[in-house]
């Protein structure tokens, strides 16, 4: 049997295996719930959601593990339901996708991988190098553009990011491109001037095209666990995020943070990445994820 995407990730697979071992006990008692609580917290589910789940188990007086497994599966699945996980890309216009996030999350490499993914679907992408704060950032996105065969529109270090985006929109129109991917600076979420720059990029898109970005995607380093929540909150308040990208899932990430991002901000995880290869990106499938996170118990 072929392993799913999530089953190939060591930390998430390890959590699922430990959860299976807990659920092999026949009765639900305080010791089992203590173990379950520890596993959920260590899986980056967060203290608030973990306490809520344990409290609900006690309230429902669940006493056998098959019933417990079904409860956990349905409870967590309900968090992920009722959101549209599809990418909002239309065929009859230029779609602008803005990638947002702090330094070191893998934003630029995600832009490159996503451009490669879109080409495989028949789209015609182009990239805007709107991280103009560092010359190295412009060079990095150009390298990714060459690697995946996608043109990069760039200016010199220190240029106005809004002007770069405007020029990229004009270039996209002239070349009949249908997706513009905007690589923005790695912004510390505490820097208000940089947050304003993101707002300006959104305004430039809306003024130039008559509509805003199709997607404002925050790129999250999944290995940081619950530490990403404040980042998401600040950026969401600034530019109305439409989705999240989780990177570095092949490292120490345990996956539980997905539930908190979706639950607290009502935004879907749309993309996930697991490595540095051009093909190491996939569209997030909530059903596939929950089935790996809360697996069937093997007797």
pLDDT tens by residue, 123-132: 999 999 999 9
Give the CATH number, domain containing residue 185. 3.40.50.300
| CA-to-CA dists, residue 72 to 40, 53, 121, 257, angstroms | 11, 8, 36, 16
- Same domain for 118 and 70? no
DSSP three-state, residue 181: strand
The predicted-structure confidence for 14-67, as pLDDT tens digits, reads as follows 888 888 888 888 789 999 999 999 999 988 888 999 999 999 999 999 999 899
Question: Looking at the domain assignment, is residue 295 inside a domain?
Answer: no
- Same domain for 39 and 164? no
Question: Looking at the domain assignment, is residue 221 inside a domain?
Answer: yes
Tell me whether residue 101 is annotated as binding: yes
- The answer to whether 107 and 183 are in contact (CB under 8 A) is yes
Question: Looking at the domain assignment, is residue 288 inside a domain?
Answer: no
Question: Looking at the domain assignment, is residue 233 inside a domain?
Answer: yes
- The percent of residues in the chain predicted with pLDDT above 70, rounded, is 93
Other C-beta atoms within 10 Å of 181: how many?
28
Tell me whether residue 106 is annotated as binding: yes
**Residue in 266, 206, 210, 276 with CA at minimum distance from that of residue 241:** 266
Question: Looking at the domain assignment, is residue 99 inside a domain?
Answer: yes
Q: Tell me which of 17, 49, 80 is where a domain ends.
A: 80
Tell me whether residue 251 is annotated as binding: no
Q: Where would I find the beta strands (DSSP E) of the chain?
A: 95-100, 125-129, 152-153, 179-183, 215-221, 243-247, 269-273, 281-283
Domain carrying residue 263: 95-283
Model confidence, pTM: 0.92
What phi, psi does 83 have (nearest 5°)? Answer: -120, 155
Tell me whether residue 156 is annotated as binding: no
Tell me whether residue 210 is annotated as binding: no
Domains held by the chain: number: 2
Using a 10 angstrom Cβ sphere, with 0-12 exposed, 13-18 middle and 19 or more buried, the burial of residue 174 is exposed
Tell me whether residue 184 is annotated as binding: yes
Tell me whether residue 249 is annotated as binding: yes
- Same domain for 73 and 122? no
């Amino acid at each position: 049997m072929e392993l799913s995407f999530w089953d190939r990730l060591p930390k998430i697979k390890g959590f699922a295996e430990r959860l299976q071992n807990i659920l092999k006990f026949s009765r639900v008692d305080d010791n089992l719930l203590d173990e379950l609580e520890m596993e959920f917290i260590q899986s980056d589910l967060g203290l608030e959601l973990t306490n809520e789940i344990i409290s609900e188990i006690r309230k429902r007086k669940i006493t056998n593990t098959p019933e417990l497994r079904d409860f956990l599966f349905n409870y967590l699945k309900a968090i992920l339901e009722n959101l549209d996980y599809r990418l909002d890309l239309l065929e009859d216009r230029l779609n602008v996708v803005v990638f947002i996030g702090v330094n070191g999350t893998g934003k630029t490499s995600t832009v490159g991988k996503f451009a490669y993914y879109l080409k495989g679907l028949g789209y015609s992408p182009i990239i805007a190098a709107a991280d103009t704060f560092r010359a190295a950032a412009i060079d990095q996105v150009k390298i990714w553009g060459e690697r995946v065969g996608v043109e990069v529109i760039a200016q010199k270090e220190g240029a106005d990011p809004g002007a770069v985006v405007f020029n990229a929109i004009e270039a996209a129109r002239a070349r009949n491109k249908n997706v513009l991917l905007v690589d923005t600076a790695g912004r510390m979420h505490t820097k208000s001037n940089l947050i304003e720059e993101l707002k300006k990029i959104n305004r430039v898109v809306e003024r130039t095209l008559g509509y805003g970005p199709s997607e404002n995607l925050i790129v999250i380093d999944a290995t940081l666990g619950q530490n990403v929540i404040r980042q998401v909150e600040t950026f969401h308040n600034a530019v109305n995020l439409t989705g999240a990208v989780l990177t570095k899932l092949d490292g120490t990430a345990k996956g539980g943070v997905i539930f908190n991002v979706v639950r607290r901000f009502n935004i879907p995880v749309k993309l996930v990445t697991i490595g540095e290869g051009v093909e190491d990106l996939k569209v997030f499938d909530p059903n596939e994820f929950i089935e790996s996170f809360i697996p069937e118990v093997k007797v």
